[in-house]
Amino acid sequence: MRAIPTVAAFAGLVLAACGGDGSERALGSLASGQAGGGTVVSVQVIGPGNLELGSSGTFHAIAFTADGDSTYTDDVTWSTSDDAVLSVTGNGSSAEVKAVGDGAAEVLASIQGVTGSRTVHIGPVVVGPVESIELIPSDQVIVIRGDSALGSIEAILRDAAGNRILDQSVTWSVSDPTVLAFRSRQATFALLEGLKPGTATVTAEAEGKSGSASVTVR
């Protein structure tokens, strides 16, 4: 599984852009219990890996089926591994997560009995100039099958001392919007959609620094 913060449930909505080429696309509606018409084999939870104590972020769940399709469903059960650290309020395919205690805990999403997780660390916000930007994953493949071809990417910003910067948004762009589009771009997270076979470069920029990653669509 490869490893976005605040929007409503995804079904039938267009997510607002945070800059770039304006290639946001609408997500198709899914009835409760559906996951692209296939059996779910894995679940990916997308959201910030760090939260400041008292702050909140929005997390999303993507279901991956046995035939390679990736899609959203509103039939998600949300929970946390430690409710003394995180408070999780589910709303279909998304959940609002609040840091209520120190330490680290997992945000869990279960679809058709399959559970995915995202570890969240609680810590202070680092305020300082951006020295480097790393995109994770740096190289990924999105397979077009069925109605969905989704991927996601995260920008990791650090200062000169290597501390992670959590309060800085980035500007997202893609080298070939005919191959790859953004479903959403929010802060340091982006949801990607493959449009046709090919390779495109995703770039995140902030304070004169940038980081890039290669995305192949098949």
pLDDT in tens, 150-198: 888 889 998 887 877 876 889 999 999 999 999 888 778 888 999 999 9
Look at residues 173, 174, 154 and name the one whose alpha carbon lies nearest to residue 164: 154
Rounded Cα gap, residues 53 and 69, in angstroms: 36
Q: Report the Cα–Cα distance between both ends of the chain, in Å, rounded.
A: 17
> 3-state DSSP: the chain helix, strand, coil percent, rounded to 5?
0, 50, 50
- Asked if residue 108 lies in contact with residue 115, where contact means CB atoms within 8 angstroms, the answer is yes
Residue type (1 letter), 61 = A
Write the CATH number of the domain with boundaries 132-217: 2.60.40.1080
pLDDT band with cut points at 50, 70 and 90 for residue 88: very high
Q: pTM for this one?
A: 0.58
Render pLDDT for 108-162 as a digit per residue (tens, 0 to 9): 999 999 999 998 989 876 667 999 999 988 898 888 876 668 888 889 998 887 8
Amino acid at 170: V
Percent of the chain whose pLDDT exceeds 90: 40
